[in-house]
Structure 1
């Protein structure tokens, strides 16, 4: 996996690449179907309107609601959304899938404002992407 933190205007983008031994269509289901997404993403997806401009309602473990909006959707290649959090601001998340042999390459990018918590965020996403691997093993 290749991780890279880089400036994007006045924000920061943390980018991960991971080769996944599952086809893009299967990974697409894991990243866009609420029942699968909730098993690996740091928050539970309670609502997900899978359309550009569609709303996503996440809830964290303390019960706090986090709203998001789908900003890009190109099945089974690109799923991007913008989260609005009261304490940490706007977060842009983008998941891109590209065929890679019998599997695919996942490129995950998280763009945010405060560089000071980039290391903590990177550690959290590494664990989360490991969880995605485990969820994929359970999907038929």
Structure 2
């Protein structure tokens, strides 16, 4: 049986963060800051740039798809048979920014990856908020 787009799932995490979009954007796009909350990397906010995220458990192959400063960032996320796309959306609010992350493309037979991402992104968001609090 072949998979269709309707048979994939997404992990979505959305939080209201009390910082302006430009500050959060830096944490999403500067390699030394990404390393503090996500993984070691050779990221550049340039469409078409291939980069690698690496941790003690392995690595993720990525390619930048969309860069719209302080608004939207997306990149592919390929690891262990998972082919997905991570999209960050920053929306200014009266008190800061609504930050939304969606990782789309989990097939129905990738339950372990899906559950791992649901858990992992909650942790990454917590670490991101700590980095933002320190970054001044």
TM-score, L = length of structure 1 = 0.84
**Superposed counterparts of 1:1-140, under 5 Å:** 8-41=5-38, 43-45=39-41, 47-62=42-57, 64-85=58-79, 87-115=80-108, 116-117=111-112, 118-140=114-136
Higher helix share: 2
- The count of aligned residue pairs is 130
SS of structure 1 residue aligned to 2:128? helix
- CA change 1:36–1:11 in 2 (3 A) is same
Query: What is the root-mean-square deviation in Å for CA atoms of aligned residues?
Result: 1.7
**CA–CA distance in 2 between the matches of 1:129 and 1:112?**
20
Return the offset for 1:48: 1.6
Contact preservation (8 Å) 2:73, 2:88: yes
Contact preservation (8 Å) 2:12, 2:103: yes
**CA–CA distance in 2 between the matches of 1:133 and 1:89?**
27
Q: Which runs of 5+ in 2 are unaligned?
A: none
Q: Which runs of 5+ in 1 are unaligned?
A: 1-6
Return the offset for 1:16: 1.4
